[in-house]
Amino acid sequence: MPDFFFTTIQCRACTCSKRAALSQMMLGRQIDGIWHTSTVVHGEEIFFGAGVQRAIPGLTPFGQPLQKVDMGTTSLDKATYTEIVAELSARYQPQHYSLLTNNCNHFSNELCELLCGKGVPAWVLNQADEVFKTPLGQMLMPVIMQMEGQLGGATASGFGGGSASATGGAPGGPAPPPS
């Protein structure tokens, strides 16, 4: 019997900052959050931080999502899903993390596109561009670029969690292949 199924895919948007209320005053435009996204598929929450990480849905260091966006369904078997995650894991390494061009939102977008043909909402994916178009955003860009290493250290068990690979298996550690 083939391991074939339909599973719902959910994009979770958590905010990394409760200071979004100050955005209108500081940036001249309203920013509702500094978004971190993950994707829930096959009963796990998967995201990019210190490499590709997996966790029990809702138990990442980012907390409970403020928004859950149903992305659709996939009929990919587990072997194909595992291959996709392994390919993405090879490209989404901690040393390649960039707040602007290669972050959790880009990972979630690519994973969702591959699984169900639909990317994450533009308001999440384009957030950094919108912030950095403002005068304050342009002034803060060098500081934020220095912080990239710290944000790239997010693991399923917390921040600053060292290196990751797609073959680890410790709880809260790097992404193991799904079974």
Q: Please check the confidence at residue 137 and state whether its pLDDT lies above 60.
A: yes
97 vs 30, residue with greater confidence: 97
pLDDT above 70 as % of the chain: 64
Is pLDDT of 160 > 70?
Answer: no
| Contact between 32 and 13 (Cβ < 8 Å) | no
pTM, rounded to two decimals: 0.72
Regarding predicted confidence, which is higher, 177 or 123? 123
Residue 179 has pLDDT above 60, yes or no: no
**The dihedral formed by the CA atoms of 141, 131, 134 and 136, expressed in degrees to the nearest 10:** -50
CB 48 within 8 A of CB 104: yes
β-bridge partners, 148: none
pLDDT band (50, 70, 90) for residue 107? very high
List of residues 6+ apart from 125 with CB closer than 8 A: 105, 106, 109, 119
Catalytic residues: 36, 104
**Where does the pLDDT of residue 151 fall: very low under 50, low under 70, confident under 90, or very high at 90 and above?**
low
Confidence of residue 83 (pLDDT cuts 50, 70, 90): very high
pLDDT confidence bin for 63, thresholds 50/70/90: confident
Output the six-digit token pair for 160.
């600053």
Q: What is the average pLDDT across 34-63? A: 86
